[in-house]
Structure 1
Amino acid sequence: MIDTLQDVLETVIEMLCAELSCSESQLTDGKVHISVRSPKTHENPAHRHFDPHPGKIGIASLGRGGIVCVDEEHLDWAEEIFGPEPKTTRDELFMPERMGKMADLVRPEGLLLYGPFPRFAVSHSSLTHIESPAEYSVRVVGQEGADAIGQRAKWHNAIYKVPTETARPTMIAAIAERESEIAGVCGASADSPYMWQLGIDVAPEHRGRGIAPALTSAVAGAVLDEGKMPYYGTSASNIPSMRTALAAGFKPMWVEVLSRPENEQF
C-alpha cells in the first residue's frame, strides 16, 4: 500500500535502481554517478514496461545528485560529457549543453533524447479529493470501460494505445461528462506491477473549469485503492499540467531523460 510519501519514495528508488543499474546510495549521496546498464535490467519487476532498445540511455535525479545510465558502448561518451563531480553537479546535469552533446552523439544511431520530464507521485496521505465542477459529472471505470472509450485520437494522452498494441494497458479511467458529452478523460496505464502512470486530456472548450484536477484526483484515488503508486509526468514547460498534479496532492519526486528510437512513438 502507498500510504505515505515515504512509501512513494521507496517505490521510486526501487524503480530507478532497477532501470539505471545503480544502488540506492548512488541515487541519494548528492553526487552524479555514471552507471553501465545491466543486460538483465528488464527482468526486474520494478522496471517499467518501456520497450528495450539498443543503446538505451537513462538520466535521472531525485534532487540529490543524479545517475547517467548508458550501455557499455556509450560509456566513454558519458564520461566525457558528464563525468563525476566536480565536472558535473546536480544542477548542471540537465543543462542544454550536456543534453545537446549527448543527443548529437546518439542521433546517428537512430536515437532521440526526450525530456527532462518532471515526475510527480501521490500517496493516500497526500491525495486531495476534488469534486467535479458544477454541471459536470465524473465517473470511474475499470479496464473494460476504459477500452470502450471512443475517439482515442482525441484522448491520446489519457488512453493512447489500443490494449493489444501495448505492454502498458489502461487499467482505470475517469470520464468527465456534461449532458452526456465527454469533456475529459484521465487514464492510468500499468507501467509496472507497482506503478501506474496517469495521462489526461480535456477538450479545449471545457478547459479552465477545474475538470483536470477532479479527474486526476478520482483516478489517483482508484489507483491507490488497487495498492499501486499513481504517478504523473509532464514536460518541463507544461506549467498548467504541473498545477493539475499539485492541486490533486501530487508531490514532485524525480526528473528524468529517456531515449527512444526515432521511429518509435513516445
Structure 2
Amino acid sequence: MSFNPGKKEIEEKIKNQLAVEFNCSPQDFDKTENIITTEHQHPDRRKFSDKPFFLQMATLGKNTVISADESIHPWLTNWVKGKQGIWLFEQHNYFELETELRKHGYKMALTHHMFVPEAKLIDVKTDLKIKWLEQNDITPFYGNENFPNAICDKFKPERPDVLAVVAMDGDKSMGMAGCSADTPELWQIGIDVLPEYRGRGIAKSLVTLLRNETFRRGAIPYYGTSLANLPSWKTALDCGFKPFWVEAESQPDENTEFTK
C-alpha cells in the first residue's frame, strides 16, 4: 500500500494532529496572535504521557499555541502580550516561563524541533548489508543501550515500535533506524549509529530507507531532534525532511513540594 501524499496533504495532517493535542483548531496555528487553550487529553493524541501536560506549547513559525492548566492562564495571558510567538521559545522568555512554572510544581522539559518529509520517495544507493526488523523482531533489542533513539526503552502499546532497519558488519549491528507508530498515520523515526561507525553515511542511508518504507506502508514518517544536535539536523535535511514545527512541554519538578 504505497502512499505518496503531496506537501499540502502532509502539512494539513500534521496541523490536524497538533490541533487535537493542543485543544484548538488547525487554523489557529496560522494566526498572528498567540492562542491559549485549556489542556485536554484527547484519545487520538500522540500518547507521550498518561495524563494531560500542565503546559505545552507549539509554533509553526508564526504564532504560538499554548495548552495549559487554567490556573496559569492569567499569568500566560500577560506573558504573551505584545510578544511574537516564535520568540516565546527564546531563553529570556523561557526563563520567565520556567520561573512561573516552578511555583506550580513544574519545569520545562526538552524543546523538540520537528521535521516532515518532502512529498516524494528518495532513491537510495548503498553497499551496506541491511537487515529489516518487523515489530516482533524488535523485542530482543529492548534494553540495548546502543539504540536509545532508534527504539523505545521497552515495548509501549500506546505508540509501538513497528519497524526498524539495521546496518550490519558481519554479525555486529553498526546502526539502527526505527520508527514508532505515534498515531496510525504518523510514524516517528529515530536513529543511532555506534561511535566507531560514524562518519560513513550510515545514518543517512538507514533513515532514508526507513522513510521510504514508511510511505510504502501507508503512513507519514516524521523526525524530531533537539536544538543543538546539529548532526541529527543534518541527517534530517540530507534524508529529505524539512523543519516544520517546534514543540515543548512541562514536566513535574521533583525539587518542589507541590505538583498537581
Percent of matched pairs sharing the same residue:
29
Distance (Å, rounded) in 2 between the aligned partners of 1:60 and 1:221: 27
Structure 2 counterpart of 1:137, from 129, 132, 141: 129
Match of 1:11 in 2: 13
Q: Which amino acid aligns with 1:116?
A: T
Structure 1 residue ranges without an equivalent (≥5): none
Match of 1:60 in 2: 58
Match of 1:90 in 2: 85
The 5 Å alignment of 1:102-117 reads: 102-117=97-112
State the TM-score, normalized to the length of structure 1: 0.87
Match of 1:221 in 2: 212
Q: Which amino acid aligns with 1:145?
A: D
CA deviations 1:221-262 (Å, max 9, x no partner) are 121122111111001111110110111101111111122335
Q: Which amino acid aligns with 1:128?
A: I
Distance (Å, rounded) in 1 between the aligned partners of 2:144 and 2:53: 31
- SS of residue matched to 1:148: helix
User: Is 14-23 or 113-122 further displaced after alignment?
Assistant: 113-122
| 2:128 counterpart of 1:128 | no
Displacement after TM superposition at 1:31 (Å): 2.6
| 2:137 counterpart of 1:161 | no
Distance (Å, rounded) in 1 between the aligned partners of 2:130 and 2:102: 43
- SS of residue matched to 1:42: coil
Distance (Å, rounded) in 2 between the aligned partners of 1:117 and 1:206: 26
CA deviations 1:111-139 (Å, max 9, x no partner) are 331233210011551x433333x4x3222
Q: Which amino acid aligns with 2:224?
A: G
Q: Which amino acid aligns with 1:141?
A: L
Match of 1:32 in 2: 34
> What RMSD in Å do the two structures reach over aligned CA positions?
2.0
Residues 253 and 146 of structure 1, relative CA distance in 2, 3 Å threshold: same
| 2:234 counterpart of 1:243 | yes
C-alpha contact 1:147 1:170 (8 A) present in aligned 2: no
C-alpha contact 1:2 1:123 (8 A) present in aligned 2: no
